[in-house]
Amino acid sequence: MRVMRHNGRFTLRSSSNDGEVQRLFDSACDADGLMQKSDIMKMEEIAALLDQEDLRWEEFDMFWERAPKFPTDSSKIDVDSFTQIWRDIDDLFEFEDEAVIDPTQEGPPTSSGPASSKTLTATTREDDDESGEELELETIFQGISNDSQLLSLEVLRKWDEVKRLLDDGLLGEEELVKLWEDTTKSPGSPNEIDVDGFLSFNLALDDLFYFDDLEIEGGGEGGGEEGGDEVGGGGKVDIPDGADTETAFKMLLPNPSLATLEIDDVMRWSELKELVDEGSLEVAEIQSIFGECCSASAGGAMDVLGFAKFDKMIEDLFEDEGGGEEEGGGTRAGGQQQQQQQQAEQGTVLKNRLLDKIRAISAGDPLALNCEDDALDEVLEIANELCETSAANLININAKAIAPSDLEGDWELLYTNSGMFRFYQGLTGLAQTMPNGKFNKLTQSLKARSYANDCVYKEIVDVVGGQEVIATVDGDWSMKSTPSLLTGEPTVLMSVEPGTVKYGPTSTKADHWKSVRCMNQLDMSFLDMEGLRIMRGNTSLDTIFIFMKIV
């Protein structure tokens, strides 16, 4: 638990005071008595916690996902769910009931008054990594333990992470039993462990996957003499041929409860070690590629999307050199590599067909807003096949791993078949209302921050005399991984809440503009590393918006 001490910056209202929490909810909810994720992030207390990193983004995201959503709108919550989130955040911190510490005061602290006025402040984050992991493990324990908050070996064996390690042969039954026997049992329950025992068990489990550097170097004789460049102190991990990216990623994780890889974790990959030993690859090259694939949202570590990019960049090194299987090229050889190459080639062909078709039908008619229905049907058919079959589609690899930071940047809309967008000849409809107005271009700028996500649309409309009018629509956006409402398949729902529409001296609320609504709720069906993104109407699979990231 984190101990928060007073420094005069802000106060977190007590979660035990339901009336106070209710008033807080009422001040931020909409007319229907509901609240979006972005509304909570804008609250002064929460924004301060996120900004000062006392509350981590992944912690807040976990609390939001865990809270029940409103039945008819899964992007919103009611007051009960808000209260649950508030209490979850409150429970992260351990308050000092008897004293408030003033950092400017010398000597012992003075009395702080009643517990209801406990004050929350920033603390050092020396133990934050451990605290975050412990919090996640404590949450897992609550989900798998019995009513007495105890856990047996039989139940532990069925826990997903332990079961996966057993199934993959990374953990033996004898090792599991030995770990269990060495774990302190709960007082009065000789065959069960409590949450402290569960945390101890996981620490011991983690230690199984770390070995002596000298042992890894090669038996101790002469090993480790030159260790200046050596990276990776863990035991080797053999990833079987045919393993997909997500499986390989999970096998390299040093602890099943983690979601990111450090450079040392990656260097446990046996085939990478072999490439280094053979002189085919330098450690410095691996470190450089690793740095390119790290995610800012993962704190400089590598998530599963970054790992997919890392794997591909390593393989590309050997493809560029003309090396094949016989020369040790690539990290996973054999039939799977050939199959992946064929899928990649097919995906590239489909992607090029799609972009070529869009260029052809949009020449002189931006976004093909006035083309025939036959051409629209052909684009939709190609886009559907690309989304379903492309090996480069990150949505199919692991939709849950896509973070807001992966979408941050400027995007140009290349094409849409949206009936509303076509009817209004753009997002704002200004092309219809201005003399000789004609839609020219639309860009979408996305910013992802710890406390709020900003979205700005910029629409250019050509008018008489070779002039152009620039309209902007600003607002907030959010995203979450969820099954599609229509297909049940994994997708990423992107919600945009428009704020204002501005053009020239005019500024009006966006909720007065019906045309803007066509892009408020979209499912992401395709995203690749090269910046192509295909969105679909949340309630209409045949309505698509195709974006390309501006580099």
Same domain, 492 and 538: yes
Q: What local confidence, expressed as pLDDT, does residue 339 receive?
A: 62
Q: How far is CA 294 from CA 250, 266, 406, 469, 549, in A?
A: 16, 12, 11, 40, 19
**Which domain does 200 fall in, by range?**
130-207
In degrees rounded to 5, what are phi and psi of residue 532?
A: -95, 135
Q: Which of 315-329, 389-403, 404-418 has the lowest mean pLDDT?
A: 315-329
Same domain, 46 and 89: yes
**Residue 344 Ramachandran class (φ > 0 left, ψ -120 to 50 alpha, else beta):** alpha
Q: Quote the Cα angle for 268-273-277, to 5°.
A: 155
Same domain, 115 and 137: no
99 pLDDT more than 80:
no
Q: Is 111 inside a domain boundary?
A: yes
Q: What local confidence, expressed as pLDDT, does residue 361 receive?
A: 94
Q: State in Å, rounded, how far the first CA of the chain is from the last one.
A: 43
Same domain, 460 and 319: no
More confident residue, 169 or 159: 159
In degrees rounded to 5, what are phi and psi of residue 535?
A: -110, 150
Of residues 268, 257, 240, the one with CA closest to residue 333: 240
Q: What local confidence, expressed as pLDDT, does residue 12 receive?
A: 56
Of residues 154, 151, 128, the one with CA closest to residue 140: 151
Q: b or e along 100-123 (b: 16 or more beta carbons within 10 Å of the residue's beta carbon)?
A: bbeeeeeeeeeebeeeeebbbbbb
Same domain, 486 and 528: yes
Q: Is 342 inside a domain boundary?
A: no
What's the CATH code of the domain at 165?
1.10.238.10
Number of structural domains (the chain) is 4
Q: Is 377 inside a domain boundary?
A: no
- CA dihedral of 419, 429, 511, 501, whole degrees rounded to 10: 140
pLDDT one-digit tens code per residue, 4-53: 433 333 445 554 556 678 778 888 888 778 889 988 888 888 888 877 77
**C-beta of residue 25 within 8 angstroms of C-beta of residue 35:** yes
CA distance 506 to 86: 39
pLDDT one-digit tens code per residue, 227-246: 434 444 456 788 876 677 77
Q: Which of 16-25, 270-279, 518-527 has the lowest mean pLDDT?
A: 16-25
320 pLDDT more than 60:
no
* Residue type (1 letter), 421: F
How does residue 226 score in pLDDT terms, banded at 50, 70 and 90?
Answer: very low
What's the CATH code of the domain at 403?
2.40.128
Of residues 69, 54, 56, the one with CA closest to residue 122: 54
Name residue, tokens 């006392």: 54
More confident residue, 360 or 346: 360
Name residue, tokens 């709720």: 521
CA distance 314 to 287: 11
Q: What local confidence, expressed as pLDDT, does residue 9 receive?
A: 37
Cα of 322 vs its chain's centroid, Å? 35
Same domain, 397 and 541: yes
Q: What local confidence, expressed as pLDDT, does residue 363 receive?
A: 92
Cα of 173 vs its chain's centroid, Å? 34
Q: What local confidence, expressed as pLDDT, does residue 188 receive?
A: 82
Q: Is 332 inside a domain boundary?
A: no
Q: Is 345 inside a domain boundary?
A: no
How does residue 118 score in pLDDT terms, banded at 50, 70 and 90?
Answer: very low
CA distance 157 to 146: 14
More confident residue, 447 or 293: 447
Mean pLDDT of the chain: 77
Same domain, 53 and 165: no
* 3-class DSSP string for 332-400: CCCHHHHHHHHHHHHHHHHHHHHHHHHHHHHCCCHHHCCCCHHHHHHHHHHHHHHHHHCCCCHHHHHHH
How does residue 396 score in pLDDT terms, banded at 50, 70 and 90?
Answer: confident
Q: What local confidence, expressed as pLDDT, does residue 337 receive?
A: 58
Q: What local confidence, expressed as pLDDT, does residue 117 receive?
A: 32
**C-beta of residue 255 within 8 angstroms of C-beta of residue 205:** yes
Helix residue spans in 106-231 (DSSP H): 128-144, 153-158, 160-167, 173-182, 195-207, 213-218
Q: HSE-up of 352 (CA within 13 Å, CB side)?
A: 6
Q: Which of 132-141, 211-220, 378-387, 502-511 has the lowest mean pLDDT?
A: 211-220
pLDDT one-digit tens code per residue, 362-380: 999 999 999 998 999 999 9
- Single residue among 281, 302, 327 that ends a domain in this structure: 327
- Single residue among 310, 327, 344 that ends a domain in this structure: 327
Same domain, 397 and 544: yes
Q: Model pTM? A: 0.45
